[in-house]
Structure 1
Amino acid sequence: MSANTTYIEKVTQKESNLKGLPKVLAIIIALTAITFSVFHLYTAGFGSLPSWQQRAVHVSFGLLLLFMLFPFSKKKGFKFYDLIPILLSSLVLAYALFDYPAIEYRAGQPNSMDIMIGTLLIILIIEGVRRTNGILMSILITFFLFYIFLGPYFPGLLGHQGYSYKKMIDTLFISTSGIFSSPVYTSSTVIVLFIIFGSFFLKSGAGKFFIDFAFLLVGKRRGGPALASVASSAMLGTITGNGAANVAITGAFTIPMMKRIGYSPKFAAGVESVASQGGQLMPPIMGAAIFIMAEMTGVPYIELIAYALIPALLYFLVAGIIVYLQAGKLGLKGASDEEIPKVTEVLKRLYFFLPIAFIIGLMLMGFSPIKAGLYSIFLTIGLSYLKRENWMSWRDVLACLESAAKSSMIVVSACAGAGIIVGSVVLTGLGTRFSRLAIDISGENLLLLLILVMVASIILGMGMSTVSAYVILAVLAAPALINLGVSPVAAHMFVFYYGVMSGLTPPVAITAYTAAGLAGSSPNATAFTATKIGLGGFIVPFIFVYNEALLLQGDTSTIALSVITSIIGAAAFVFFLQGYLIRETSWGERLLFLAAAITLIIPGILTDITGVALLIAGILLQIFKKKSDELVAEQVQKKLMG
């Protein structure tokens, strides 16, 4: 695109996926998106609207933009009937702006207009969710709506007395227990702000820096491009908070390099998928769900990211070791000198770490995440002027505001849809009933309950965003875990992890499919490979549930010992999984490594000593066989030469 291309021309080209979209509407979409971002920046800086109104404006304004961006049919593109939900969303927005605070005064006794607007909003949310998050979540929301009325027809613990339509509208629309509950509150204040921050951060040149920094650190090592993919995606993914988006940013560079040094297309795509999806697990930002978790658990955000650090490092450690061992198995080398960026060029751009450090520093000083995010946006814009090619013009600023608003739509609709589910659970008391039912099915066996929740989390996450899956399971499954003695933080982290991991598991694995497209590999083969590489993400939640020292619960010595044994145990698990350490492993050696991993993961001095002994035995066997192989090769060579 030429330097003379106007901002409006860029906008029009960006909207080319909406077939039949008039140019004038493309301009209106751009202005609407920018206004959406400016509204949230303004309320972050000068104070939000009253709580209910802030949330209602956020959702209705988001729906207005959503229906501009996502037509009824992707194949047919934008048609005249797509104006209908746009106009209806405008009506809801006007109602939230101009009939407040009278709406709140009618809590418990909604009038006919409240019922009409509330009904309209629910329909718009379900349709918006269908367009952005898929049909599965919209069906799930509809089911929970009907459950409010059909409770008397459900058997046993799932049954309830049933509620009137008026009561449903009062709960879902007028109160802050339904649509405008915790997910939308967090979305309207914190999440959108950090999405805006991420947009400016990437525009400032941070994406390229993180890739260069990762290649400088590990690029020349065995399997270097794959290791760099893991490292750069861990750093960048915490900013984007979206696995598929992260693949698009880093994968376009790392996947071709992995293929060039000898990794198969499906393995290269699998590595990028695991690393990119795992970015949501890596502090400090971790995507949208962590902010909602802070609101739902009452645990400050700054504490949650501290608790999440060690499990995230274990996740990426497992992925990194798998990549390294696979390179050894295939005899691969690292990147060439020409492909490694110059040290001086990378060191000059270390200032890109400042915005992240600034966010953490401000929150440690007592600033709210809202203020920390807001001030970091301005810092990021200022830092862009340190390198001429990254300078942000006013057009770039507008483009970032527009891009951020568009990126927010999936989160806004997901949070609003999840709010309907939360409201129906609160109104019907389903949370308590479901918790009791899950405990009964598991026979009060924690391990069995954890497995059931894991499966439910993965299945739910296949058809929806991490935010949606987390919120639903946080109100349904997490209480069951808590009732069996799991701490609230561990319970919520558990369901969050599997909501993230669902992006890798077939038959619906959006992140893996995105990477497969870049690698030219089979989507399902890539998803299965990614699942294998990401197995660390499947076992880590079980580890921290049974050993909460990994979530920084306990004294320093206990935490330190747990971290060390978990790292060694994770490495042993990879040796079992890969069937390779310094040579191909026999099944006997693999079972030794598996036994070592299991015993090291279980807390206790006796199990730790046993695990280390088993691991050492497996390593010594590998060394002995390696030397034996070398001796045999040497003797064969002598015979051939003799």
Structure 2
Amino acid sequence: MNPFKKKQPIADTDDVEAIAQKLLEEKEAEMRVRSYEGISGTVLTVLFLVWALFQLYANTIGVMGAMTLRAWHILFLLVFTFAIYPTFKGERKERKLPPIWDFALMGLTVFSFGYMIVNYSVIALRGGYLETFDYIVAAVAMVVVFEGARRACGSMAVLGLVFLAYNFLGPYIPGDLGHTGFTVKRVLSHMFWGSQGIFGVGIGVSATYIFLFIVFGAFLKYSGFSQFINDMALTLVGQSPGGPAKVAVLASALLGMINGSAIANVATTGTITIPLMKETGYKSEFAAAVEAVASTGGQFAPPIMGAVGFVMAEFLGVSYTEVLLAACVPAFLYYLTLIFAVHFEAKKLGLSGIAKENIPNVWKVMKSRGHLVIPLVVLIAMMFQGYTPLFAAVVAIFATVIASWLNKETRMYPATIVKATVEGARGVLSVGVSCVVIGVIIGTVSLTSLGLNFGYIVLSIVGEGQLLLGGVMVMVMSIILGMGVPGVAAYVIVAAVAVPVLVDVGASLMAAHMFCLIYACLSNITPPVAMSSYVASGIAKSNQTKTSLIAMKLGLTGFILPFFFLDNPILLLGQGVDIPLSTTVFAVITASLGVIALSAGLQGMLLKRCNLLERMGLLVVGILAVDPTFITDIIAIVLFVAIVCLQKFKRPTIAMA
């Protein structure tokens, strides 16, 4: 079949829906979680509901110490992890009861963390002095934590063990990264009984922001919000060239910012969007890459940013709205690049959009499901009014249920509410356990002064004030540390080690944190551990390596943009620097032109197919225009106009719309 042959609009989506449903069933069958029948399943559901109610209580009207809440949270996390995740891959998934050894692990979890809950205040009152039995409890807790991590998030367990071993192997490491080493008692005391180990900031975020916002995302899903987003995306861009790919970009961006997991977003929305893109005429690798890139960007896209924005606000000691505003332009430019990339690819292949008869009527969509945006409006409005994100999230969850009753088709009945609550709580497990292991990593960094030593090494290599070279080193480190790790977890790990380095070479705190966040997220599409790309490739049945490389090309703006806002706050909307509004607007407009030029140069298509010289010129335009400097912007505009005129007057024009 000629790949450049013009495709006809899809006349009937029944086949596509059947394919998507089949793929969804296959993905569910491949999930490595247990399912329980009869009374065990009922008991597990009740326990998930109890956990969710406990978290809502503790984060609203409950009065509870931070360490106590975090201990209870880890206790629930690990008990459910041993119940849900099998011991090994080949284990039978359909069960009536967990294996006996998992009951033993649950018992050890309750024993160790229950002991901590009961005795933490007692130990604090005696000045932090630990007895032999306290060290034994800490050792048991560390064992169950790493066994839970091995099951729920294998790569994090390995990374955590590497950092844990570093505490003991310091004397054998030459150079500035070596240290005198620590005893087993010192490490156990720091990791379990201190506030910078497994009960540190990582699990603190999981017990508050992550839990509530993942549950909120589940409620939105069961209210029909996901379908509303898909339908609205279809009405907006479905008929344009490459419509299904643009629908995938918009839908995955909106849903990805809520669920906070690029991998989970690919596994859910990808089962619908990838078959649609393939049916329209996109190649399998390209379709998978579009979904992977779109889902990845949701983790740093306002207004929710997959809950990671709240973590950043805590680190910076600023309001969430300040973080939200800083992320607006980078997220906008990232998705603008992707939208135009799929548009230019569609024009190059001669693809059409979806047939008009298969596009939902916008008024009918708004009438039947438009009320489902109320929870998001409530959430954003409350945060801008000064309410805490936690309180706003709880109110938004209740607002979702209330809003769903405004139309009979979307009503959430008690059974639906139970399903949403259980799915949300289950969705916390892998991310939550990752956050526990993050405590080991951050605890190691604080105990061994690894962050300071690493910063010293970087400064000795690149020198003070060498922001570009320092940024390159941090970029590589951020991508490596973020590989195979959930977005929030990846950011916390990278921020603990890399932010001080960037600050030392001249970056502002906000720019340093945003830099680390974006690159930690982009590890999802960066080989060799491009998890989002691999999941999308599995759905599309495409080549994994090709999919990952195309994803990197489509997400190019994400890879280059952070270097431009490291030393220039304009693209982060100033961030406290007094910059005239006209200057900011001009910089954003020219940066938008730049990412469009980048998309055109990479896809080899503008008004028509580009020759090599035109492609190189467009790439130069992209780099110059993204740089928020007036002179480079003017040069970029002139060069872009010249390329457009060259194409317009030398060859027949292909319409852009």
Select which of 298, 302, 306 maps to 1:279. Answer: 298
Cα 1:18–1:428 change in 2 (3 A) is closer
C-alpha separation between the residues in 2 aligned to 1:147 and 1:18? 32
3-state DSSP class of the match of 2:305? coil
- Structure 1, residues 334-367: CA drift from partner, whole Å, max 9, x if none? 1111221112221212222221121111111121
Shift in Å, 1:173: 1.6
Q: Is the 8 A contact 1:109 1:170 kept in 2?
A: no
The match for 1:212 is 231
Choose 103-112 or 331-340, whichever is displaced more: 103-112
The match for 1:532 is 553
The match for 2:264 is 245
Equivalenced residue count is 617
Say if 2:284 is the partner of 1:269: no
Shift in Å, 1:538: 1.2
Q: Which amino acid aligns with 1:168?
A: V
Q: Where in structure 1 are there 5+ consecutive unaligned residues?
A: 1-12, 631-642
C-alpha separation between the residues in 1 aligned to 2:524 and 2:227? 24
Shift in Å, 1:14: 9.7
The match for 1:460 is 481
C-alpha separation between the residues in 2 aligned to 1:599 and 1:19? 53
Q: Where in structure 2 are there 5+ consecutive unaligned residues?
A: 1-27, 93-97
3-state DSSP class of the match of 1:599? helix
Q: Which amino acid aligns with 1:316?
A: Y
3-state DSSP class of the match of 1:603? coil
The match for 2:372 is 352
The match for 2:326 is 307
Cα 1:122–1:19 change in 2 (3 A) is closer
- Structure 1, residues 237-296: CA drift from partner, whole Å, max 9, x if none? 111111122223322222222222211122111111111121112111111432222222
The match for 1:609 is 634
Select which of 30, 42, 55 maps to 2:57. Answer: 42
Choose 191-200 or 108-117, whichever is displaced more: 108-117
C-alpha separation between the residues in 2 aligned to 1:478 and 1:121? 30
Cα 1:373–1:230 change in 2 (3 A) is same
C-alpha separation between the residues in 2 aligned to 1:187 and 1:612? 46
Say if 2:442 is the partner of 1:398: no
Cα 1:48–1:410 change in 2 (3 A) is farther
Q: Is the 8 A contact 1:34 1:402 kept in 2?
A: yes
3-state DSSP class of the match of 1:178? coil
Shift in Å, 1:66: 1.1
Say if 2:649 is the partner of 1:624: yes
Q: Which amino acid aligns with 1:336?
A: A
The match for 1:83 is 103
Select which of 61, 75, 78 maps to 1:60. Answer: 75
Shift in Å, 1:18: 5.0
Shift in Å, 1:372: 0.3
Cα 1:628–1:324 change in 2 (3 A) is closer
The match for 2:386 is 366
Choose 49-58 or 297-306, whichever is displaced more: 297-306
Q: Is the 8 A contact 1:15 1:26 kept in 2?
A: no
Say if 2:206 is the partner of 1:187: yes
Cα 1:441–1:131 change in 2 (3 A) is farther
Say if 2:593 is the partner of 1:568: yes
C-alpha separation between the residues in 2 aligned to 1:105 and 1:119? 22
Say if 2:382 is the partner of 1:386: no
Q: Percent same amino acid at aligned positions?
A: 39
Choose 143-152 or 61-70, whichever is displaced more: 143-152
Say if 2:309 is the partner of 1:290: yes
Cα 1:19–1:224 change in 2 (3 A) is closer
Q: Which amino acid aligns with 2:512?
A: A
The match for 1:640 is none
C-alpha separation between the residues in 2 aligned to 1:18 and 1:539? 38
Select which of 491, 497, 507 maps to 1:470. Answer: 491
Q: Which amino acid aligns with 1:398?
A: V
Q: Is the 8 A contact 1:19 1:76 kept in 2?
A: no
3-state DSSP class of the match of 2:633? helix
- Structure 1, residues 83-122: CA drift from partner, whole Å, max 9, x if none? 2221111212422343342143355322223212222222
Say if 2:611 is the partner of 1:580: no
C-alpha separation between the residues in 1 aligned to 2:126 and 2:80? 29
C-alpha separation between the residues in 2 aligned to 1:546 and 1:32? 50
The match for 2:21 is none
The match for 2:513 is 492
Shift in Å, 1:16: 9.4
Q: Which amino acid aligns with 2:71?
A: A
Select which of 412, 437, 442 maps to 2:462. Answer: 442
The match for 1:514 is 535
Cα 1:479–1:519 change in 2 (3 A) is same
TM-score by length of 2: 0.90
Q: CA RMSD in A?
A: 2.2
Shift in Å, 1:128: 1.7
Cα 1:188–1:355 change in 2 (3 A) is same
